[in-house]
Amino acid sequence: MSREARFRLFNTLTGAVEPVIPREPKHLRMYGCGPTVYSYAHIGNFRSFLTADLILRTAQALGWKTTYVSNITDVGHLSTDDTIDPSGEDRMARALRSKEGERFPNVWDLARYYTDAFLQDWDALGLLEPDVRPRAIEHVRELIQAIEELVAAQLAYETSLGVYFSVPGFADYGKLSGNEKASLLRNAARDVVVDTEKRDPRDFALWKKDPHHLMQWHSPWGWGFPGWHIECSVMAQIYLGDEIDLHTGGEDLIFPHHECEIAQAESLTGKPFARHWAHTRFLQVEGRKMSKRFGNFLRVRDLLGSHAAQEKNLALRMALISGQYRKPYNFTRATLRDAGVHIGRFKRARDIIQNATDSQHSGRDNLCDLLRNTYRHALHAMADDLNTPVAIAAALSGTKSILENGYDLSAAAARSAKTFLDQIDALLGVIPQSPAATAEPGESQAASAVGGNGIDVKAVERLIGERRKARARKDYARADALRDEILALGVELHDTPSGPKWRPKTTL
C-alpha cells in the first residue's frame, strides 16, 4: 500500500471491494440504520452498529473528517407476521401488549424507555456518538412532505388503505439486491400490506391509513402513520444532503429496506443516493440463528457488567468485533472468555506504562519502531475492508512486546507504548482507560504525550470547549467550523462516549 492509505470496503451495490471515495475528499458522510425501539437490543443488532463504528474510527484514523447520522426508529412498523395477519399490528403495539409491556402506560413511554436502554448499551460498548441521532417521530412532517412530492410526481398513489410507492415508475428497482421478480418482492415481509387496490405487488407502503393505530398523525390522507423505508431516506437526506457517501446496516436490510430507500430517494432528487453500501453478515450464537425459541437469544445487557465494569464491557465489544463483518460469525461464551483475557493484557500494559513514564532506564528503544510499524499494520488491516482479526492480532502483538519489556521500559519507550495504546484504542475502542484518562470527560487525556511537539494545548482545549457548547445548542455549522480549526492545530479529534478526546496527529 502506498503512503497515501486507501480505505477499501465491500460495496453491496457493485459486489466488489472498492475504495471509499467521499464526494468531498477526506470527509465521509455516513448514514447507519438504527434500532427499532420496541425491546432491548441484542448482540446481533450491536454487531451491525459496531461495523459502522469501526468504519468511522478507521476513517478518522486515516485523517478524514466524518459526519455520522444514525436514526432511532420509534414509530411502530409492520412485523414479519403481516402476511399472516393482514390487520398489520406493528412490533411496538405488540410489545405493549406483551408481559414486558405491561409496565408502560402507553406506546410513547415504551419507545422512550427502550430508546434510553439502547443508548445505555451504546455507551457501555463504547461506540462513538453520531453527529445527529434523528428520531422518526420528530420528522413526521418532513416524511409527509416527501410522500406528497412522490404523489405529485405520480411516483406514488393513494388507495383506501394507504399510499404506495409505484415500483414500475422506478427503472432501477432491484439494483442493490438483485431482486426483481415480483414473487420475491411479494414475499419480503415486514412492510408488506395486503391491499387488493395495490397496482403492482412490488409496490410498498409510504403511508398506512389507520385511525385506530396507537401512534397516528394527521396527513393529507387522513390519520395514520408513515412507512419504515421513507423514514431513513428522508432523514439521511435532511442531515447529509441528497447524495451520501456510505450507508450501513445488517444484511437483512438489503432488501426490502435499502432497495426501497434508494427508490424513494433517487425518485425525489434524480441523483444517486448512496455511493457505497456496507452490510454486516448476521451473527449466530453457539452455532445457530439467535432465537428465543433456541434459548440462545442474548441481549447486550445480559452480558454487560455494571457501568463501572469497564473491562467486562470491553470484552463484549472485543468479542463482537473479533470476526470480520462480512464473514459468518459465531458468538460463543468461549469467545467472550478469550476476549476477557485479551482485555486483561491491554490493562496490564496500561498499568506498566502508567508507572514507567518517569523511568530512568535507558535502552530498549527499538520498541518505538516496532510499535509504530505494528500500529501501521493494524490501520492498514482496518483500511482493507475492516479486517478486524488482523488488526486485533497486531494490537495483541504490540501489547505482548510492551509486556515483555515490562518495567524495564525507558521513558521514551513508555511514551511510544502509550501512543501505541492510544492509537489502537482510537481505532478499535478496546483498551481500558487508566482512571486519570476517564475522570474528566472532555479534558485532554493526551497532554502528557503532546509536550515538545509544538501543539498549543490551551487553544485546543478552548476550542473543544466552544465546540461542545455549539453542539449542545445544536449549532452544527459552528461545531463543524470549530472542528476544522481544532484539526488545523495539528491534532486528531475523537468523539467518545465520555466526551471529546484529542491527540497529536499521526501520519501513515
Interface with Zn ion: number of residues (CB under 5 A)? 2
Beta carbon of residue 308, minimum distance to ligand AMP (angstroms, whole number): 27
Contact residues for ligand AMP, defined by CB under 6 A = 33, 35-36, 44-45, 47-48, 249-250, 252-253, 280, 282-283, 290
Beta carbon of residue 7, minimum distance to Zn ion (angstroms, whole number): 23
- Among the listed ranges 32-40, 157-165, 315-323, 410-418, the one in contact with Zn ion (CB under 5 A) is 32-40
Q: Do residues 257 and 249 lie in contact, with contact meaning Cβ atoms separated by under 8 Å?
A: yes
Residue 232 binding partner per list Zn ion, ligand AMP, none, with a CB distance cut-off of 5 to 8 Å that depends on partner kind: Zn ion
Residue nearest to ligand AMP (CB): 250
Where would I find the H helices in 62-194?
Answer: 91-97, 107-124, 140-152, 182-187
Residue 176 binding partner per list ligand AMP, Zn ion, none, with a CB distance cut-off of 5 to 8 Å that depends on partner kind: none
Supply the DSSP symbol for 212. T
- Residues of this chain, 192-211, that bind Zn ion according to CB under 5 A: none
Residue 36 binding partner per list Zn ion, ligand AMP, none, with a CB distance cut-off of 5 to 8 Å that depends on partner kind: ligand AMP
Q: Which residues have C-beta within 8 Å of that of residue 132, sequence separation ≥ 6? A: 68, 69, 239, 476
* Residue (226 or 429) nearer to Zn ion, CB: 226
* Residue (32 or 162) nearer to Zn ion, CB: 32
Among 33, 156, 192, 460, binds Zn ion (CB under 5 A): 33
Written as one string, the DSSP assignment of 324-356 is -TTS-EEE-HHHHHHHHHHHHHHHHHHHHHHHH
* Residue (41 or 470) nearer to ligand AMP, CB: 41
280: nearest Cα among 252, 256, 319, 245: 252
Cis peptide before 35 (omega within 30 of 0): no
Output the nine-digit C-alpha cell for 389.
Answer: 482479526
Q: Do residues 257 and 227 lie in contact, with contact meaning Cβ atoms separated by under 8 Å?
A: no
Q: Which residue's C-alpha cell is 440463528?
A: 289
Report the amino acid identity of residue 211: P
Beta carbon of residue 117, minimum distance to ligand AMP (angstroms, whole number): 13
As separate numbers, helices (DSSP H) first and strands (DSSP E) second, the chain gives 17, 16
Beta carbon of residue 256, minimum distance to ligand AMP (angstroms, whole number): 12
Residue 371 binding partner per list Zn ion, ligand AMP, none, with a CB distance cut-off of 5 to 8 Å that depends on partner kind: none
Cα separations (Å) of 54 from 6, 9, 46, 50? 15, 12, 12, 6
Beta carbon of residue 29, minimum distance to Zn ion (angstroms, whole number): 16
Output the nine-digit C-alpha cell for 161.
Answer: 388503505
* Residue (41 or 352) nearer to ligand AMP, CB: 41
* Residue (200 or 252) nearer to ligand AMP, CB: 252
Residue 62 binding partner per list Zn ion, ligand AMP, none, with a CB distance cut-off of 5 to 8 Å that depends on partner kind: none
* Residue (298 or 470) nearer to ligand AMP, CB: 298
Beta carbon of residue 127, minimum distance to ligand AMP (angstroms, whole number): 13
Q: Do residues 424 and 345 lie in contact, with contact meaning Cβ atoms separated by under 8 Å?
A: no
Burial of 354 (0-12, 13-18, 19+ CB in 10 A): middle
49: nearest Cα among 283, 335, 377: 283
Q: Which residues have C-beta within 8 Å of that of residue 107, sequence separation ≥ 6? A: 76, 92, 93, 96, 214, 215
* Residue (320 or 402) nearer to ligand AMP, CB: 320
Output the nine-digit C-alpha cell for 356.
Answer: 514507567
* Residue (231 or 422) nearer to ligand AMP, CB: 231
x/- letters, 232..271, toward Zn ion (CB under 5 A)? x---------------------------------------
For position 315 contacting Zn ion by CB under 5 A, the verdict is: no
Q: Which residues bind Zn ion (CB under 5 A)?
A: 33, 232
